[in-house]
Amino acid sequence: MKVLEYICATRTFRKKLEGSRTRLYRMALAWSGDPMLADDLVQDTLTKALQKSHQLRDGNKLEHWLSAILSNTWREHLRRQKPGVEIDDEMFVCENCPEVETTSQEIVNRVRRAVGKLPIGQREVLTLVDLEGFAYAETAEILDIPVGTVMSRLCRARRALAGHLSELQTYVPVTNDGKPQLRRVK
């Protein structure tokens, strides 16, 4: 009976890991800016999770646990890198796209580059809080830093992003009372 329970538990665990892959990839891509590296980081994370599945005490905290493993894997990668080696900005190619998609893709590229310009600590916090929706306390636990550090890094990251992306703000005419003037399109 114990063998059957173990097999069922292992299958369930593997399915949950498969379901987390997309979210982990988004985080790794935001941190690294390189799709191939992000894929490698996620693969290493999932491999470590499978090897250390016995260490997960609370199944409800699987996402949190996997994010912490990814964070540690990312740090290991950075430690192995030579100082001063920059990861190239990702360039997207959109074939046969209408003008609207091209414009949207340009905005996505600018945002990714702006996020890529942030220091790693700010990039990690911004990704976990703003993109993945983790609470400050959860982010602090994942990155193994104080909550105050999470808050200050997030504040600096948001300010830096606003500065980098200020040219993306479109001009919206305002009325005399300061409210946006809307134009009706038929």
Q: What is the DSSP string of 119-175?
A: -HHHHHHHIIIIIT---HHHHHHHHTS-HHHHHHHHHHHHHHHHHHTGGGPPP--B-
Grouping H, G, I as helix, E, B as strand and the rest as coil, residue 32 is helix
Structure confidence at residue 6 (pLDDT): 45
In sequence order, the β-bridge partners of residue 136 are none
CA distance 11 to 19: 12
Structure confidence at residue 107 (pLDDT): 77
CA distance 33 to 78: 13
Q: What is the pLDDT of residues 101-146, one digit of tens each?
A: 666 777 778 888 888 888 999 999 998 998 888 999 999 999 999 9
CA distance 109 to 31: 15
